[in-house]
């Protein structure tokens, strides 16, 4: 199994986790020219754009929840594209979540970051 496939397995795991938490998965690995989003889900009234971050084993360094600004920009761009393409009503509240997978623990950080300033 290569890196890409491993990433997909983690995305599937995160999707199953969100479904158990009562979300409905709309998109898996959504990508466009501006960027990509691992999971898009409906969580009650919210539309959630989720980034899946994982760390196998006990490597050091930043926590898996850290999403750098460059990545935040790509996710933001892709989110705006998705909103426009699917003609999501403008009053739909949106949120960027991070699903952090670290060994056996899976955590969800709701509203992990705001829309990137360059997209506002």
Where do contacts with other proteins occur on this chain (CB under 8 A)?
1, 5-6, 9-10, 12-14, 16-17, 19-20, 54, 56-57, 101, 103-104, 106
For residues 1 and 84, which CB has a smaller minimum distance to other proteins in the complex? 1
For residues 21 and 111, which CB has a smaller minimum distance to other proteins in the complex? 21
Q: How far is the CB of 48 from other proteins (least distance, A)?
A: 16
Q: How far is the CB of 16 from other proteins (least distance, A)?
A: 4
CA 18, CA 107: separation in Å to the nearest integer? Answer: 10
For residues 14 and 50, which CB has a smaller minimum distance to other proteins in the complex? 14
- Mention every residue, 6+ apart, whose C-beta is less than 8 A from residue 109: 65, 97, 98, 99, 100
């Amino acid at each position: 199994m290569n890196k890409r496939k491993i990433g997909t397995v983690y995305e599937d795991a995160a999707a199953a986790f969100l479904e158990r938490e009562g979300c409905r998965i709309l998109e898996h690995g959504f990508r466009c020219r501006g960027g990509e989003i691992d999971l898009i889900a409906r969580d009650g009234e919210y539309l959630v754009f989720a980034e899946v971050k994982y760390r196998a084993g006990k490597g050091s360094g930043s926590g898996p929840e850290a999403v750098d600004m460059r990545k935040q920009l790509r996710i933001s761009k892709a989110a705006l594209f998705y909103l426009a393409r699917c003609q999501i009503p403008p009053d739909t509240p949106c949120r960027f979540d991070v699903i952090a997978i670290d060994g056996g623990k899976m955590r969800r950080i709701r509203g992990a970051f705001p829309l990137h300033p360059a997209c506002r």
